[in-house]
Structure 1
């Protein structure tokens, strides 16, 4: 007698496949129940016990889902957070941007002649900084997750301020090369720390605004850096060259700021001195809907493997690699192009930093406003990349003569628009990557791409191509087009994942696949990744 064959329900198998296609944790399902339509244990488990055990106990002590936060109270809490967290991010990023770029101001104040730099040595002073970031970004992300963020950030700022001071003592290429490498090692704490702080303290709809505000300090640096460069340039007859005094003074100011960070910035919402216990609970609860977690110091290898296999992680890597090749090159050679190619004096070049910085701030704030108003982060990034394509074409086609200096200067300012792509992509990172270890890994990948692009950018400007650097602008044009294609591909991926998650979530909860989406926020602080959590939705 032939043995009876049990044929699985094809509809049940289809439902199981729908769920498994969007989650890396198949243990959230009772497969027999799914396939055969009969629960084997009376209920479908929603979370495996291993995940529940790994939730951060300190965070759970400060959660209370029954709390209702009114709009007025939310504004009050946001003001408290801005005062303690955003202030630190703004001041620190300003110091980082200024300390990194004062070499560009020094380039027209005599540093190249005093240190006898030749050939590509000046370019290597920028490239080596980003190569240092490239090599240490992963370690920095690990330390940001494992150590009290206020103490580690404060130490790194103090250390790079000390490094800037020692530049004033350099007399050759080797000495300044070593110090620029150390500067990169310590400065690379900023972006991963700030992305983490944005995700921990701010709601999803606030993160693009928050990231844009601290990134605007690049514009402030361009404005005040130009004024500082102008001021220091006119120091004559001192015992030290003007550029040496500039490095020494700015380095000392950074040291003072680094010491202040330890006392002003809270280690976490749960350990925020000067904030009441009730407000600490509310600060944690107000970010519940993010579903990206607040804190978990356990390093999870499953998060690492998921990050390495996640298409969005590689897309964010590619976007930041492609948009920093142009900005890295122009950041290093911008003042040289304006002074040498367009015929402006040292004084005029420094003062033009005011216009450049204000235009940059305007572009970034406008991009953040449009993205929020339009509710389209990726499409906004694409739109703000188009002026760069026009700019590259103009530099390749318009004769570089005095008659066209004004037009080419405006074309140069148009290249600033690509920075909106950077800030908006950082907000995609902070909003769409859940799980503390996974976010650390993806942040490292993103800023490794960022560092690689910045290190490659100056190398497009070869001494033999001076003064027009046409090959550099051709390379930048290719980067702009490629970044737009990656952005659009990422948007399609997010839309598809949200559709799949909605269907899978409905299947698990026994609803029709095409039923209206219902989000459960009860798993928000369990350190689930965006893949593991069927209730997570991507923002784009």
Structure 2
């Protein structure tokens, strides 16, 4: 077993290069000290540690991401059971409850990601989770549009750091080859929780309506989800964090956890806490950041409309309020199967993410277009239902695109800014998506569904160009490396050394993009 008496517990000491002139990098101390720390550990030790990490992190991330998605979209179900009537919503006010959520989500994004980078990641996440669970509990007491707007706005602020926080945690614990499948495992929870919670909400609504309860069904739904979220927040407080923060690893295991991911060339959390303006500006010169932004935007215009109006769309097909909840479940089941299948596929086959993203955009484009063009008559009810169910896989392109942030953007500040910009696209897309489905277009919502189909088509083009840029850039770097005469092993060592000094992917010539 290696000894590490020269280093503080749980940290990897790097040479001090902050005061050096920008662009000059002292490689030798990092190569000899930091990179050398990974040598004593075997793959068997790493596998054992990975199983422990999975056992602690994946379940709670699965739970909290799933409940967050349900909390965010439950308004669609609440609308079926009296929310609009009890709170006197008229015109586009219901749509504005979704728009204000994403508007405040957008406003809170930069501050929340800055806090995640600067302070204890697990504690910041837990504080935000507590805030959003409190908002859900309070929504149950709302009686008018103003109260709902205030609480939905606060909910957007508190939920805005869950996705960047979980992506940051995934990047700090897992190798690049593991990013896609680990991310998909916890992201697949949105479909799983949509099934479980929809059944629970169905039962709650049935009971309340059947027994003429004094508390409206939609209010009971908020109380149930808020309480469930609060329980998850408490668990998250004690478990979630980066390797330096958690208490369930020994000092030696923390060092091993860091050594395991050195090959990512993405840096170490202890060197990436300082805000670096050169990395901030580099984001706006990096083509992949623009591809990430566009991919997210084009995926989230449909997302905003579908998540807000999914239950109402089933009603337009010819189902009643109760049937719309039950017949929506197969769509979520398809989502679970697709996510898990893709996660295992990407675990076995590397650099296949872009191909999966294209397929998961083409099928929803076709399904939504056919659904929108068919008239709402009984003989087309089940065809429209099937076409709409095809759209469930569109989120694969969104989530796999987000995993590129974890895998392909090096530099702590740059990763924070890229994550924020991508989630700004998420907010803007969802806000637009909620508004393109207008009350005047009911019951077919033809304009909204055609706009969403066009966005999926634009997303396919974006992904193709994005993948082509990665291929071009990797080949260009390969040619430079070949001309230098350095071996592949030496290239990897130098890349790891630069990564540990928080050097970005654009400035690290030994970095290769995965896709």
TM-score calculated relative to the size of structure 2:
0.90
* In structure 2, distance between residues paired with 1:328 and 1:99: 14
Match of 2:257 in 1: 283
- Give the corresponding residue for 2:513: 538
Query: Which of 36, 60, 63 is matched with 1:91 structurally?
Result: 63
Q: In the alignment, which residue of structure 2 is the partner of 1:314?
A: 290
* Residues 62, 189 of structure 2: 8 Å contact kept: yes
Aligned length: 486
Q: Please show how residues 447-462 of structure 1 align to structure 2 within 5 Å.
A: 447-462=423-438
Q: Which runs of 5+ in 1 are unaligned?
A: 1-24, 29-46
Determine whether 1:48 maps to 2:22.
no
Moved >6 Å (runs of 4+): 60-63
Q: Which is worse superposed, 345-354 or 525-534?
A: 345-354
| Rounded Cα–Cα distance in structure 2 between residues aligned with 1:109 and 1:381 | 36
Native 8 Å contact 1:223 1:356 kept in 2: no
Q: Which residue of 2 aligns with 1:148?
A: 120
State the distance in 1 between where 2:513 and 2:21 align: 20
Q: Distance in 1 between matches of 2:35 and 2:228?
A: 37
Name the counterpart of 1:9.
none
Q: For the residues of structure 1 that align with 2:38 and 2:373, how far apart are their CA atoms?
A: 60
1:114 matched to 2:86: yes
Q: 1:511 to 1:270 in 2, by over 3 A?
A: closer
Match of residue 67, structure 1, among 40, 50, 67: 40
Partner of 1:231: 203
Return the match for 2:227 from 227, 252, 274: 252
**Per the alignment, in what secondary structure is the counterpart of residue 257 of structure 1?**
helix
Return the alpha-carbon distance in structure 1 between the equivalents of residues 328 and 228 of structure 2. Answer: 21
- Looking at structure 2, the residues matched to 249 and 476 of structure 1 have their Cα atoms a distance apart, in angstroms, of 32
Partners in 1 of 2:28 and 2:274 — Cα distance?
A: 13
Residue number among 488, 503, 526 corresponding to 2:501 in the alignment: 526
- Please state whether the residue corresponding to 2:342 is helix, strand or coil: helix
> Residues 330-364 of structure 1: CA distance to partner in whole angstroms, max 9, x if unpaired?
1100100102x111122222222331221111122
- Report the 3-state secondary structure (helix = DSSP H, G, I; strand = E; otherwise coil) of the residue aligned with 2:90: coil
Tell me which of 480, 485, 488 is aligned to 2:456: 480
Does residue 294 (structure 1) correspond to residue 268 (structure 2)? The answer is yes
Q: Separation in 2 of the partners of 1:208 and 1:483?
A: 19
Quote the offset at 1:26 in angstroms: 11
Sort the Cα spacing of 1:63 and 1:355 in 2 relative to 1 into closer, same or farther, 3 A.
Answer: farther
Out of 322, 345, 349, the position equivalent to 2:324 is 349
Q: Is the 8 A contact 2:106 2:427 kept in 1?
A: yes
Q: For residues 73-106 of structure 1, give each alpha carbon's deviation from its aligned partner in whole angstroms, at most 9, with x where no partner exists.
A: 2321111111222222112112211211111111
The structure that has the greater radius of gyration is 1
Q: Cα distance 1:156–1:61, how it changes in 2: closer, same or farther (>3 A)?
A: farther
Specify whether residues 73 and 115 from structure 1 end up closer, same or farther in structure 2 by C-alpha distance, changes over 3 A only.
same
Q: Residue 393 in 1 paired to residue 393 in 2?
A: no
Correspondence 1:105 to 2:82: no
The question of whether the paired residues in 2 share the 8 Å contact of 1:63 and 1:284 is answered with no
Preserved CA contact (<8 Å) 1:501 1:535: yes
Match of 1:273 among 232, 239, 247: 247
Tell me how far 1:526 sits from its aligned partner.
1.4
Unaligned runs of 5+ in 2: 1-19
Aligned pairs for 1:104-503 (under 5 A) are 104-234=76-206, 235=208, 236-266=211-241, 268-295=242-269, 296-339=272-315, 341-375=316-350, 376-503=352-479
Deviation, 1:367, is 2.8
The offset of 1:384, in angstroms, is 1.7
- Worse-superposed segment, 135-144 or 521-530: 521-530
Aligned to 1:10: none
Distance of 2:197 and 2:326 partners within structure 1: 9
Q: Is the 8 A contact 2:121 2:165 kept in 1?
A: yes
Checking the alignment, whether the CA contact within 8 Å between 2:301 and 2:432 is kept in structure 1 is: yes
Quick check: 406-415 or 256-265, which moved more?
256-265
- Per the TM alignment, residue 451 of structure 1 is displaced from its structure 2 partner at its CA by 1.2
Partner of 2:414, secondary structure, is helix
Q: Secondary structure at 1:270's aligned position in 2?
A: coil
CA-atom RMSD, angstroms?
Answer: 2.3
**Cα distance change of structure 1 residues 250 and 392 upon mapping to structure 2, 3 Å threshold:** closer
Distance (whole Å) between structure 1 residues aligned to residue 329 and residue 41 of structure 2: 45
Q: Secondary structure at the match of 1:519?
A: helix
CA shift, 1:52, in A, is: 9.5
TM-score by length of 1: 0.86
2:202 and 2:322 in contact (8 A); partners too: yes
Asked whether the 8 Å contact 1:62–1:284 carries over to 2, the reply is no
Contact 2:62/2:185, CA 8 A, preserved across alignment: yes
Question: Per the alignment, do residues 124 and 52 of structure 1 end up closer, same or farther by CA in structure 2, a change over 3 Å counting?
Answer: farther
What is the distance in 1 between the residues matched to 2:233 and 2:466?
A: 37
Are the equivalent residues in 2 in contact too, given 1:506–1:517 (CA < 8 A)? no
Q: CA deviation at 1:371?
A: 3.8
Describe the shift of the 1:323–1:517 C-alpha distance in structure 2 as closer, same or farther (beyond 3 A).
farther
How many Å separate the matches in 2 of 1:413 and 1:432? Answer: 32
Displacement of 1:262 in angstroms is: 1.6
